[in-house]
Structure 1
Amino acid sequence: MNGSYVGIDLAAQPRRTGVAVLRETGEGALLEHVGVGADDDALLDHLEGAAKIGVDVPLGWPKPFVDLLTAHAAGTMTAPASTGGDWRRGLALRATDLDVHRRTGLTPLSVATDRIAHPALRWAGIEARLRAEGLDTRRDGAGQICEVYPAAALRIWGLAHRGYKGAEKGAPRAALVDALDAQLPALDWNGHREQCAAEDDALDAVLAALIAREVDHGRAVPPPAEQRGLARQEGWIWLPREGTFPLRTDAAG
């Protein structure tokens, strides 16, 4: 472990993909790199040697959805009792999506039915490359990769978690960066603060790196024992523990 953490805000296209590298220092942590516009090769270069990598994208698909597609393709699908909303929701959301909603009230985008599937497909290809190169890509977060959700983390940390994304949201995004700066005196922005205020992809990559550090330091919630097998297929969103805050070791977080 070299004390570096990588955060990736993965988009379907490289031009909107943010990546941040956070490195431990004696007094806190330094943002060694923040950039937007990373292709697959650039991402792999940044991931080399990282202690933990936080990826803001679904790492897998709901098992019931995968099972349905397999049966549908084979022509062996059993007719459901109803094709109503409850049945469709059971196919659209992963176990971790439901857990995030229970904990925070937020519902992650459905990788089965929403446009988030496009970056998820890109990640599936990247995961295959990483696995071929020997990285531990277990989707439950037990290896080098962990799935993160910046908006939910911000909510748990008591910070603004909505209304900061988009070119027209510069003012609320700058306010969020100011709030983070005030709460994170041990974080050295290293000249990247203005970029995070200007680009939400950069800011989310930094948040992903901070969450990855929380996971590595044992301050995030793992999948419960009864869901670990499912999480290895579907992925698991690692949320910070209540009462914790990045780069703090005191009882308040």
Structure 2
Amino acid sequence: MLTAGVDLAAEPRGTALAVIDWSGTTARVVELEAGVSDVRIASLAPDVASLGIDCAFGWPDDFVAFVTRHAAGDPPHRSEGELTGSGMEWRRRLAYRETDRATRMQTGRWPLSVATDRLGLTAMHCAALLHSLSTVIGAIDRSGGGVAAEVYPSATLRLWGFSTVGYKADPAIRATLLGAIQQRAPWLELTRVADLMTASDDAFDAVIAALAARAHALGKWHRPPPESLERAGREGWIVLPAVDLAELKPSSWPGAA
């Protein structure tokens, strides 16, 4: 099995790609690249069991409806009974997707808002990337039902019990976090890529995205509930692992179930 992770940025120069090979007794990061193009990502998509992409796959339904009404010159609220622009609850409903609310319930933190935060430019890039991917792997199921999966590396790390404070900005903290990961997952070979993961938070997150993709490929992730599935197909759904990092070990690792 191969899984891939993409730390997506607004431009290729900030985008990183990792590929992990799970076929041996250990899991090996066989590729870790920075400055990756959409063409490169699309070229490997047919060969992986799961492609984890760190970016929102869509926008909140309520935000899309709000922008559509505003463009048409209609009132921003759908009915007189709906909260108007003076309420934080109303604005928060526009700003966040159903999966963002679910992620906050599981992790205690709000993800960045694709509608109102700096993630927006990257999400535009993601929309174009998903279209490119659809030409090589078929229609993209934004709810996580296909090869492509929306992942969230920092939330994944927190769910696995790792501290994520400061790791994005500080190479020393990334080095410490890397050591903690290797202690918990001795079957994960990171020696060859450790320097790049320490130097670049983009490369670091690409590897974590590829680990989250393993949980996705094994079906060990929190799926959208039935009542949210249709909405998730439009808005996207963050694939959060439902098992500890240790449960992702290669099947041929000594002692693996």
| Paired residues, number | 249
Distance 2:95 2:136 in 1: 31
Match of 1:144 in 2: 147
Match of 1:162 in 2: 165
Aligned partner letter, 1:69 = V
Aligned partner letter, 1:202 = A
Any conservation in 2 of the 1:136–1:144 contact (CA below 8 Å)? no
Aligned partner letter, 1:157 = W
TM norm structure 1: 0.92
Q: Name the CA shift for 1:17/1:106 in 2 (closer, same or farther; >3 Å).
A: same
Q: C-alpha offsets along residues 94-153 of structure 1, whole Å, 9 cap, x if unaligned?
A: 000011101110110000001101110001011112223343411001011111111111
Distance 1:229 1:103 in 2: 21
Please list every run of 5 or more consecutive structure 1 residues that lacks an aligned counterpart in the other structure: none
Q: Name the CA shift for 1:136/1:21 in 2 (closer, same or farther; >3 Å).
A: farther
Out of 45-54 and 11-20, give the one that drifted further: 45-54
Secondary structure at the residue paired with 2:29? strand
Of residues 37, 42, 45 in structure 2, which corresponds to 1:44? Answer: 42
1:217 aligns with 2:218: yes
1:67-86 residue pairs with structure 2 within 5 A? Answer: 67-77=65-75, 79=77, 81-83=83-85, 84-86=87-89
Q: Name the CA shift for 1:231/1:18 in 2 (closer, same or farther; >3 Å).
A: same
Aligned partner letter, 2:218 = H
Aligned partner letter, 1:10 = L
Aligned partner letter, 2:238 = I
Distance 2:205 2:239 in 1: 15
Match of 2:232 in 1: 231
Aligned partner letter, 1:204 = D
Q: C-alpha offsets along residues 44-79 of structure 1, whole Å, 9 cap, x if unaligned?
A: 223232110000000000000011111221223354
Work out the percentage of aligned pairs sharing the same amino acid: 38
Secondary structure at the residue paired with 1:126? helix
Any conservation in 2 of the 1:111–1:117 contact (CA below 8 Å)? yes
Any conservation in 1 of the 2:76–2:84 contact (CA below 8 Å)? no
Any conservation in 2 of the 1:28–1:247 contact (CA below 8 Å)? no
Secondary structure at the residue paired with 2:142? coil
Aligned partner letter, 2:98 = A
Q: Name the CA shift for 1:184/1:64 in 2 (closer, same or farther; >3 Å).
A: same
Distance 1:114 1:63 in 2: 16
Please list every run of 5 or more consecutive structure 2 residues that lacks an aligned counterpart in the other structure: none
Q: C-alpha offsets along residues 201-250 of structure 1, whole Å, 9 cap, x if unaligned?
A: 00100000000001111221111111111100000001111545353479
Of residues 116, 119, 125 in structure 2, which corresponds to 1:116? Answer: 119
Structural RMSD (CA) = 2.1
Distance 1:24 1:97 in 2: 30
Q: Name the CA shift for 1:207/1:244 in 2 (closer, same or farther; >3 Å).
A: closer
1:133 aligns with 2:131: no
Any conservation in 2 of the 1:170–1:198 contact (CA below 8 Å)? yes
1:105 aligns with 2:108: yes
Aligned partner letter, 1:227 = S
Once the two structures are TM-superposed, the CA of residue 190 in structure 1 deviates from its matched residue by 5.7
Distance 1:162 1:60 in 2: 27
Distance 1:134 1:241 in 2: 26
Any conservation in 1 of the 2:42–2:136 contact (CA below 8 Å)? no
Any conservation in 1 of the 2:198–2:204 contact (CA below 8 Å)? yes
Secondary structure at the residue paired with 1:232? helix
1:170-181 residue pairs with structure 2 within 5 A? Answer: 170-181=171-182
Out of 114-123 and 129-138, give the one that drifted further: 129-138
Q: C-alpha offsets along residues 175-222 of structure 1, whole Å, 9 cap, x if unaligned?
A: 001111111111122611111111110010000000000111122111
Any conservation in 2 of the 1:20–1:33 contact (CA below 8 Å)? yes
Any conservation in 1 of the 2:144–2:237 contact (CA below 8 Å)? yes
